[in-house]
């Protein structure tokens, strides 16, 4: 019997592998899926989540979001918390693209003002914002300047003219994680990051001009400054080569060190070390540094995109109405306090392809949104839609305050390319304006390669993890 057949349905959208399903399993594994998404659930993704439930110090449950798909060691869409005193930290369970995340910027523009010019606007953004594999930016950093970025995060970018001080009030952790250790970042990582700040990268990263198509919750939309027909900018990018190298370095270190600590790994890709060990603290410091690089990267990308739009339309900043709605991380590990077994404990929450969804009144929700809940930005594929939600109280009991991060892949990149060659790119993309340095990334990122984001968001909304506020329709997309 396969693992999928062993999943027990607990509720409409809740499926579980109880603790003890396999020897060594410490906690249940809980999947949040509709019937349609359950059909697409991969056996290997279940195996990866089950393996993670066997790691030392894992608490309560391993939670898996509706956008789940197979990742490196731990499934994308996975959430795992480990005790800070008795548990581990796992680089592969956080991910290679550390603090891959999303930024949403509001404007005072309306879609009917922008849509007729969208192709020219997207081409202008393509000229001004470096995107694609190997693309470098116009910001060249010495090692000492890089150290500043790794400590200050988005604040460094604002100090250097990329944005405004008030932006920092609308970023997760105010755009700078406090435990960054630039000295724990390798020479190779510094070299890879020295000329990539302010670049989009490739794969599923993008810059998109969007319009608010539908409002579901008027009160929350008002609090977030969102209205129907409004033009928004969405940025999806991360820590680029620097973050990838940090993950590579510490997976290698953890593989060796785990043996010394007597950790039995169910999968080498789940290589881990005790969080409070020397190696664990080195990785945590390096990961926070890479996350700060990503916050700075999105700060620069968002500012450059908004500035390009502003100049193209001949507007002042006031006329554009630039305002950062929110910016949050996807692939990250954070020390948080959560209720486990009727008591509050400090845990390391590993969110891989998952994002925070903290509820109203939570102290880590920015003051501007504390009465409504943390904004949760869920991008879809480039041909359909994205969604804006706000975190709800049930997220704290159901997922360590976490929601999904996107639609989730259905096809591999190779499969997507094959599909495009069979049916033709124009029939896939339709009328959407997509710009890129080459066609390869567009072929890999076609809408058909992803699950239906509307279905994914419906599950999160109906479970009460996060409440849907608005649907955002793409007008134009820049791919790497």
The domain locations on the chain are 3-479
Q: Which residue has the tokens 């995109």?
A: 305
**Is 60 exceeded by the pLDDT of residue 427?**
no
* CA-to-CA separations, 389 to 162, 215, 421, 472, in angstroms, rounded: 27, 11, 36, 11
pLDDT of residue 416: 65
* CA-to-CA separations, 469 to 105, 195, 226, in angstroms, rounded: 15, 37, 9
Indicate the pairing of strand 386-391 with strand 375-378: antiparallel
pLDDT of residue 136: 65
pLDDT of residue 162: 97
Do 386 and 105 meet the contact criterion of CB atoms below 8 Å apart?
A: no
Phi, psi of 391, deg, nearest 5: -65, 150
pLDDT grade for 435, boundaries at 50, 70 and 90: confident
Quote the CATH superfamily of domain 3-479: tRNA-splicing ligase RtcB (3.90.1860.10)
pLDDT grade for 401, boundaries at 50, 70 and 90: very high
3-state secondary structure of 136: coil
- Among candidate residues 205, 244, 350, 405, the one labeled active-site is 405
- Cα separation, 82 vs 88, in Å, equals 6
Question: DSSP for 359-417?
Answer: -TT-TTS-GGGTTT--EEEE---TTS-EEEEEE-THHHHHHSSEEE-S--BSS-HHHHH
pLDDT of residue 431: 60
Do 446 and 429 meet the contact criterion of CB atoms below 8 Å apart?
A: yes
**Is 80 exceeded by the pLDDT of residue 259?**
yes
Nearest to 172, CA basis, from 286, 338, 332? 332
pLDDT tens digits, 137-196: 688 889 999 999 999 999 999 999 999 999 999 999 999 999 999 999 999 999 999 999
- Cα dihedral 223, 228, 232, 237 in deg (nearest 10): 80
pLDDT of residue 131: 74
**Reduced to 3 DSSP states, what percent helix, strand and coil does the chain have, rounded to the nearest 5?**
40, 25, 35
Share of the chain above pLDDT 70, in %: 91
- Cα separation, 258 vs 251, in Å, equals 10
Nearest to 208, CA basis, from 480, 479, 405, 476? 476
Indicate the pairing of strand 29-32 with strand 62-69: parallel
pLDDT grade for 204, boundaries at 50, 70 and 90: confident
Beta-carbon count within 10 A of 417 CB: 18
**160 is an active site residue:** no
pLDDT tens digits, 91-125: 999 999 999 999 999 999 999 999 999 999 999 99
Mean pLDDT in the chain?
93
- Cα separation, 132 vs 68, in Å, equals 25
């Amino acid at each position: 019997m396969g693992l999928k057949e062993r999943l027990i349905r607990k509720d409409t959208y809740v499926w579980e592998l109880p603790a003890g399903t396999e020897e060594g399993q410490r906690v249940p594994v809980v999947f949040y899926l509709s019937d349609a998404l359950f059909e697409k659930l991969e056996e290997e993704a279940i195996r990866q989540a089950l393996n993670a439930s066997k790691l030392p110090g894992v608490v309560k449950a391993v939670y898996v979001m509706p956008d789940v798909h197979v990742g490196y060691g731990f499934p994308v869409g996975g959430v795992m918390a480990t005790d800070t005193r008795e548990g581990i930290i796992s680089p592969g369970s956080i991910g290679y693209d550390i603090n891959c995340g999303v930024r949403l910027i509001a404007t005072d523009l309306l879609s009917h003002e922008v849509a007729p010019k969208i192709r020219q606007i997207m081409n202008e953004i393509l000229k001004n914002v470096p995107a694609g594999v190997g693309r470098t930016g116009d910001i060249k950093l010495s090692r000492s300047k890089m150290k500043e970025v790794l400590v200050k995060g988005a604040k460094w970018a604002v100090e250097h003219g990329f944005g405004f001080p008030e932006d920092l009030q609308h970023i997760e952790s105010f755009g700078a994680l406090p435990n960054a250790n630039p000295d724990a970042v390798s020479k190779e990582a510094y070299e890879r990051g020295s000329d990539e700040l302010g670049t989009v990268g490739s794969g599923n990263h993008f810059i998109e001009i969007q319009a608010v198509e539908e409002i579901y919750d008027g009160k929350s939309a008002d609090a977030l400054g969102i209205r129907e027909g409004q033009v928004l900018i969405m940025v999806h990018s991360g820590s680029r080569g620097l973050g990838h190298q940090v993950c590579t370095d510490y997976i290698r270190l953890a593989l060796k060190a785990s043996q010394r600590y007597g950790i039995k790994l169910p999968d080498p890709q789940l290589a881990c070390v005790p969080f409070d060990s020397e190696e664990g603290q080195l990785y945590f410091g390096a990961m926070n540094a890479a996350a700060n690089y990503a916050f700075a990267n999105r700060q620069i990308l968002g500012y450059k995109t908004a500035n390009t739009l502003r100049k193209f339309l001949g507007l002042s900043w006031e006329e554009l109405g630039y305002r950062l709605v929110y910016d949050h991380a996807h692939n990250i590990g954070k020390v948080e306090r959560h209720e486990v077994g009727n008591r509050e404990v400090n845990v390391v929450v590993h969110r891989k392809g998952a994002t925070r969804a903290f509820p109203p009144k939570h102290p880590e929700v920015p003051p501007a949104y504390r009465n409504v809940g943390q904004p949760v930005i869920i991008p879809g594929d480039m041909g359909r839609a994205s969604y804006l939600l706000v975190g709800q109280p049930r997220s704290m009991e159901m997922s360590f305050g976490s929601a999904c991060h996107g639609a989730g892949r259905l096809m591999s990149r190779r499969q997507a390319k094959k599909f495009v060659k069979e049916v033709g790119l124009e029939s896939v993309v339709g009328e959407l304006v997509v710009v890129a340095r080459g066609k390869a990334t567009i072929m890999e990122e076609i809408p058909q390669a992803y699950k239906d984001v509307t279905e994914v968001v419906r599950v999160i909304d109906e479970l009460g993890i996060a409440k849907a506020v608005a649907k955002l329709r793409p007008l134009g997309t820049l791919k790497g």
